[in-house]
Copies of this chain bind each other. A is one copy, B any other.
Amino acid sequence: MPHASVLLRHDQAPGVLDPQAFAMCIDAAFKAAQACMACSDICLAVEDARLLIKCVRLNSDCADLCVATGWMLSREPHPDRETMQRQIEACAKACQETAAECERLATLYPHTKVCAAACKRCVAACLDALRLVCRGR
């Protein structure tokens, strides 16, 4: 169940896309952002932090892109579906790469598993939102 913000967009004004699906994506994006930020900070503190630079950088990007995408999805009916589509695609790609790197590291650094899972859920939610945006164009 997404956060109560879904209830805000109860109205079905013309041009507003499925608020439930968008709320799920906003929710997943913010959860991924939090997980990335926590993951990145734990990576910083491990003894051989240099091995985790890639993870820190991917996590940092992913957090920033997830928040920016979440904000964009909060603006409905959105006046520019094409930019929205591109931004969701960039966010999904960032989440996918971050999940892959976190999974690669998970044997040695188990803290990365939580972040990998959150990022994968965000990829799925982004794909659902993308379908709506592409259909709405």
Tell whether A41 pairs with B57 under 8 Å between CB atoms, given A83-B97, A86-B90.
Answer: yes
- State whether the Cβ of A44 lies closer than 8 Å to any Cβ in chain B: yes
Instruction: Please give, as numbers and ranges, the residues of chain B lying within 8 Å of A9 by CB-CB distance.
Output: 38, 42
Count of chain copies = 4
The distance from the CB of A67 to the nearest CB of chain B, in whole angstroms, is: 6
- State whether the Cβ of A49 lies closer than 8 Å to any Cβ in chain B: yes
How many of chain A's residues have a CB under 8 angstroms from any CB in B? 61
- Select one of B33, B80, B90, B118 contacting A83, CB under 8 A: B90
**A interface with B by C-beta (< 8 Å):** 3-5, 7-10, 13, 26-27, 30-31, 33-35, 37-39, 41-42, 44-45, 47, 49-50, 53-54, 56-58, 60-61, 63-65, 67-68, 70-72, 74-76, 78-80, 82-83, 86-87, 89-90, 93-94, 97, 101, 111, 114-115, 117-118
